[in-house]
Structure 1
């Protein structure tokens, strides 16, 4: 495994709103902290800002598998029905601080005139810093990956229907 993929998980949920009313980037970059927290018990805080190059950023703080993560998601694609965010996320563990690379992709496609299918796709990969972090502790990457995957997949699966419901509420307000 040359790219050191940790997790690749994707889940779907139905949004009861027409495609033309949905705007995922608008939802993401105006998501209140309370609304974000309501999408998972692991969600601690959320906000938005801009990267040094002016691109929009979503800052998310969550706890997965007992580790605090601070995600600095930079928008790499922002279409009403498709948003791709990339982050070199900070992870705070009992053994210290490190980083992982996370790609978060949110998309919708019409099912019919009044409903859409929402997809929440999350991929994470080890950074060089992370590989060195594991090496210093004598933890083989495959062992870490096998332990981390179930927690990350369960988190994504749990938050997906709540994100869909939040996007639906935002769409129906428009």
Structure 2
């Protein structure tokens, strides 16, 4: 774990669809808001747009550990079986607004001809803004990280099987 890494969390679930039918970027950038909300009680809203440089962007709004987060996920890898998104996310806490860097990585690998293993990995890192924000409040980063990890890990663990089910539905829609 790097000095400013807060969480590195990864969970997997089975998708009952052939890998040839999976297209993670298409799923991500066309996910209806209602489906996003159905993947976690903490999910509030989702949409998609483009970054200033033209790359695709997924906008997600959720609460984790009592803090509202607005994530601006820009596609940095967009293979059908491997999607990586990076976000400089806004975090609204009871003591003010700051930012956090989040890398969201989704991947699938074939288990057999009819099933895949989906992996949902989330890494978060304190930005310089966040470190200054914590310092102004007298909160040691190690304490913040220790308190944040269980909430972020629980969130990822809960949403992973529901994301897998949503990806499965999308993959099988064209049958």
Residue 147 (structure 1) aligned with residue 155 (structure 2): no
Over aligned residue pairs, what C-alpha RMSD do you find?
A: 0.8
Q: In structure 2, what is the equivalent of residue 28 of structure 1? A: 28
Q: In structure 2, what is the equivalent of residue 87 of structure 1? A: 87
Unaligned runs of 5+ in 2: none
CA distance in 2, matches of 1:86, 1:120: 14
Q: What is the deviation of 1:2?
A: 5.2
- Correspondence 1:127-138 to 2 at 5 A: 127-138=127-138
Unaligned runs of 5+ in 1: none
Q: In structure 2, what is the equivalent of residue 19 of structure 1? A: 19
- Correspondence 1:1-174 to 2 at 5 A: 3-174=3-174
TM-score, structure 1 as length reference: 0.99
CA distance in 1, matches of 2:3, 2:143: 16
State the aligned residue count. 174
CA distance in 2, matches of 1:2, 1:77: 22
TM-score, structure 2 as length reference: 0.98
Q: What is the deviation of 1:3?
A: 3.5
CA distance in 2, matches of 1:70, 1:29: 16
CA distance in 2, matches of 1:24, 1:169: 12
